[in-house]
């Protein structure tokens, strides 16, 4: 009985620590995705406990001035540049800044792709900096 209880306690502690200590970015922590083909980056910085900023720019390969035909696939959720309010100045897109709620540790390892129409033109994974 004692054994079962300590296993349960261990499982609880493990989950708790994982959720609070290991998977929370501290203020000032950064993460980034690099786009090689489009010569771009997206960087994420934890600015308060619950919000992070995003800064993104693509320096080449965005040849059409139409934010409705370029898309960002973030882990399966696809939104157009227009929906993200990202401006295009061919061959560049951005720079683009935003602040949103969340913790950047939840983004680590996330797949991110840039699409032109339905074709992926570059992709990357978000890594801790
Ligand atoms: C990537 O973009 C930066 C900023 O515009 C520029 O300085 C650099 O030369 C570019 N690199 C390539 C390989 O195009
Ligand atoms: C989109 O960007 C423009 C220009 O920076 C700004 O005026 C507008 O409020 C933004 N819209 C949204 C939905 O963020
Ligand atoms: C966007 O964020 C970057 C990095 O945090 C900052 O240097 C830059 O001034 C910001 N630009 C705008 C337009 O807010």
**Model confidence, pTM:** 0.78
How many folded domains does the chain comprise? 1
Task: Tell whether ligand 3 has an atom less than 6 A from the beta carbon of residue 99.
Answer: no
Q: Is residue 9 situated within a structural domain?
A: no
Instruction: Pick the residue whose CA is nearest to atom 12 on ligand 1.
Output: 39
Q: Is residue 2 situated within a structural domain?
A: no
pLDDT at 14: 61
Q: Is residue 8 situated within a structural domain?
A: no
Q: Is residue 17 situated within a structural domain?
A: no
pLDDT at 15: 62
Q: Which ligand is nearest the CA of 54, by number?
A: 3
pLDDT at 30: 97
Those residues with Cβ within 8 angstroms of residue 5's Cβ, 6 or more apart along the chain or in another chain: none
Q: Is residue 14 situated within a structural domain?
A: no
What's the CA-to-centroid distance between 85 and ligand 2, angstroms? 6
Any bridge partners for residue 91, and if so which? none
60/91 Cα distance (integer angstroms): 5
| Residue numbers in the chain where pLDDT is lower than 50 | none
pLDDT at 24: 83
Instruction: Pick the residue whose CA is nearest to atom 1 on ligand 1.
Output: 39
Q: Is residue 72 situated within a structural domain?
A: yes
CATH code, domain carrying 52: 2.60.40.200
Q: Report angle CA 31, 89, 71 to the nearest 5 degrees.
A: 55
Q: Is residue 15 situated within a structural domain?
A: no
- Write out the residue range of the structural domain in which residue 39 sits: 27-128
pLDDT at 18: 56
């Amino acid at each position: 009985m004692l054994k079962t209880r300590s296993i349960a306690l261990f499982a609880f502690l493990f989950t708790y620590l994982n959720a609070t200590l290991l998977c929370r970015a501290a203020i000032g922590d950064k993460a980034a995705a690099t786009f090689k083909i489009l010569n771009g980056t997206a960087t994420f910085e934890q600015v308060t406990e619950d919000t992070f900023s995003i800064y993104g720019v693509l320096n080449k390969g965005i040849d059409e001035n139409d934010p409705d035909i370029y898309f960002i696939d973030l882990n399966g959720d696809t939104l157009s540049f227009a929906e993200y309010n990202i401006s295009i100045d061919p061959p560049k897109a951005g720079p683009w800044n935003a602040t949103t709620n969340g913790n950047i540790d939840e983004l680590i390892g996330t797949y991110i792709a840039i699409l032109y129409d339905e074709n992926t033109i570059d992709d990357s994974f978000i890594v801790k900096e």
